[in-house]
A and B are shown apart, each in its own frame.
Chain A
């Protein structure tokens, strides 16, 4: 479990949020996002996605364990935004 002090780390000019994940396929695992709102976890092959909101100390999954259908337009928009990271979920998680 990371501490509040460790939760924001400057990496090459960007802020990286680090903390444990709660819920979804990453429940109990460490998570990371380079942007302020959290990250979108995408399993492209299964066509599923999970939204993890950054609370300041942890990433909270807002979706049911089975996730939501992937919306390709939305995930591309999220990737281009300055609010959300987009992370691949495969083989049990790329995180």
Chain B
């Protein structure tokens, strides 16, 4: 049994150390230190091995690496970083959240806090987190390069979601086009990059439900399949397009345009 530091995580610790004037790298591996210990070295049933991610089968990700970084900082820098990460923690739609398990730190008042990214709950942490911040990865993401881009974005900068998406090569979703009020245009499944998108597509997805897949405002093949099912149930032409006839059924009123 052993716990080792993953080199990209070690590199990120150095980067974090350099990013704040007062910051000094404080720790990464400990044999009995929660997420600082590998899953091999952790006590069965402890808080750091009970999440669904931790049950991933051997081979999915290394079992001998630690998953947390400690960084001691001045109160001023700790508070600055706390509020940086709070913006991400407080937005369930922020894509950077998915890589992290928790963050322990101090907002400058009261007890040290623990932000649990999996449950979304704010708890309390021990007094050592008044002099060091603690970042915890979800174990399966320690070897995911994108997790370090996300960590850099939310721990070391003030950048928002669009800038982060640009860093990982994903353009932010375009704003919903005008004229997407349900019943005002025909929805057709068109392959990317011209896929139709908007509140009307979202309305259809939510109205029909799970047969359209996860509601995301994009009118793709999954949504069209759900629409075909709906059209068959209504006894109308099952072409997968939402035109005036299908809109009339969906909205319960006559639609023409």
* A residues in contact (CB < 8 Å) with B: 11-14, 16, 32, 34, 42, 44-45, 75-76, 79-80, 82, 85-88, 90-91, 94-95
Contact = CB atoms under 8 A, between A and B. Distances in A.
Interface in B12-45: 13-14, 21-34, 37, 43
Given A76-B25, A79-B70, 16 more contacts: A12-B126, A13-B32, A34-B30, A44-B22, A75-B24, A79-B24, A79-B26, A80-B28, A82-B30, A86-B24, A86-B72, A88-B24, A88-B132, A90-B76, A91-B74, A91-B75
A5 B74 CA distance: 29
5 contacts: A12-B47, A79-B28, A80-B28, A88-B73, A90-B73
Given A32-B127, A86-B72, A13 B24 contact: no
Contacts of A44: 21-24
Q: Which of A34, A76, A88 gathers the greatest number of chain B CB atoms within 10 Å?
A: A88
Interface of B: 5, 10, 13-14, 21-34, 37, 43, 46-47, 70, 72-78, 126-128, 131-132
Contacts of A82: 29-31
A16 B127 CA distance: 10
Contacts of B21: 44-45, 90
B30 A42 contact: no
Contacts of B22: 44-45, 88, 90-91, 94
